[in-house]
Amino acid sequence: MRFMDPDTDIGGPLHKFPVTNHSAIANARSDDQVTRQRALDIILTSYWKPVYKYIRLKWQASNEDAKDLTQGFFANTFEKDHFANYDARKASFQTFLRTCLDGFVANERKAGRRLKRGGDMDHYQLDFAAAEDELAAHALSATLSPEDYFHREWVRWMFTLTVDAFRRRCEETGRSIHFQLFERYDLNDDSSDVSYASLAQEFGLDPATVTNYLAAARRDFRRIVLEKLREITATDEEFRTEARSLLGVDVK
């Protein structure tokens, strides 16, 4: 027997996954200023940290230079509307952005310019200190190329943003317990010491409820990951390719 799950709004049998139709890549070319700004915000949010780390690693930039270059890259790209040149038939957006970034840093190095700190990007709250801490705490694998490193960090950042968005959504909808269960069971450093039974005891629930809540939480988490991915891909084909890459391959 098939049934609708009361813990989720995703839908029951034969209901398609509600994929967002708005691609930030497409909207970055919009004539509407608000739509365009919103799209650029999404792109910046989704990429600034991998970009910063990539500059630090590949271009061996100091942390101060890397900050300037990261902000300068996005400011320059947005100002000159470089994303309008993106052609989804030639490469993924991630590859296109990385290629633009390499070109930008190479030009800046060649010109020997000192970028103006912040520029138009001052209103963005980019936590470079946290990125720097992560770089210091987690040694880079010697076998990883800068390109693979960029991809890996992008995947990590995508999931970090998704966890944060999921937490906020649970709080907004009064379902904090779903996130807490998810955090305890799926984000635990050592999940071997946590069982559905121990969670039931800890949260004062019966094990069946824990099972249902966790299933619903994972479903919602999956939906948010795919929504985010849809936002930063330009075409259906790219969405599918990135989803395969994001979901189907082990992180090196």
Partner 1 sequence: MKWLSDDKLNRLRMIVSEPDFSSTKYTFQKELGRGGMGTVYLCEDRELNRLVAVKVLNTPDITDDLRGRMIREAQIIAGLEHPGIVPVHDVGTLSDGRIFYAMKFVRGLRLDEYAAQGASLRDRLRKFQAVCDAVAFAHAHGVIHRDLKPQNIMIGSFGEVLVLDWGVAKTQSSFQQSISTNPRQSVANQTEDGTVIGTRDYMSPEQARGEIDRIDQRADVFSLGAVLRFLLADKATKPAKAICLKAMGEAPESRYTSATELSADIGRLLDAEPVLAYRENAVERVSRWVGKNRFLVLLVLAYLLMRIFLIFTSRT
Binds partner 1 by CB under 8 A, chosen from 15, 89, 90, 114: 15
Kindly calculate the radius of gyration of the chain based on its CA atoms and give it in whole angstroms. Answer: 20
Structure tokens at 36: 């365009």
2 binds partner 1 (CB under 8 A): yes
Quick one: 197 or 247, whose CB is closer to partner 1? 247
17 binds partner 1 (CB under 8 A): yes
Binding mask 120-139 for partner 1 (x = CB under 8 A): ----------x---x--xx-
Nearest-angstrom CA–CA distance, 170 and 176:
5
Nearest-angstrom CA–CA distance, 53 and 62:
11
Of the candidate spans 5-13, 32-40, 82-90, 95-103, the one that interacts with partner 1 by CB under 8 A turns out to be 5-13
Q: Identify residues 148-187 at the interface with partner 1 (CB under 8 A).
A: 155-156, 159-164, 186-187
Binding mask 97-116 for partner 1 (x = CB under 8 A): --------------------
5 binds partner 1 (CB under 8 A): yes
Ramachandran angles phi, psi of 87, nearest 5°:
-120, 110
Quick one: 147 or 186, whose CB is closer to partner 1? 186
Nearest-angstrom CA–CA distance, 72 and 157:
20
Q: How far is the CB of 217 from partner 1 (least distance, A)?
A: 9
Quick one: 13 or 174, whose CB is closer to partner 1? 13
For residue 184, give Cα distances in angstroms to 45, 171, 191: 27, 16, 8
Quick one: 120 or 134, whose CB is closer to partner 1? 134
Q: Identify residues 191-250 at the interface with partner 1 (CB under 8 A).
A: 191, 215, 218-219, 221-223, 225-226, 236, 239-240, 243-244, 246-248, 250
Quick one: 80 or 244, whose CB is closer to partner 1? 244
Q: How far is the CB of 205 from partner 1 (least distance, A)?
A: 18
8 binds partner 1 (CB under 8 A): yes
CB atoms < 10 A from the CB of 43, how many? 21
The contact set with partner 1 (CB under 8 A) reads 1-5, 8, 10-17, 19, 130, 134, 137-138, 155-156, 159-164, 186-187, 189, 191, 215, 218-219, 221-223, 225-226, 236, 239-240, 243-244, 246-248, 250-251
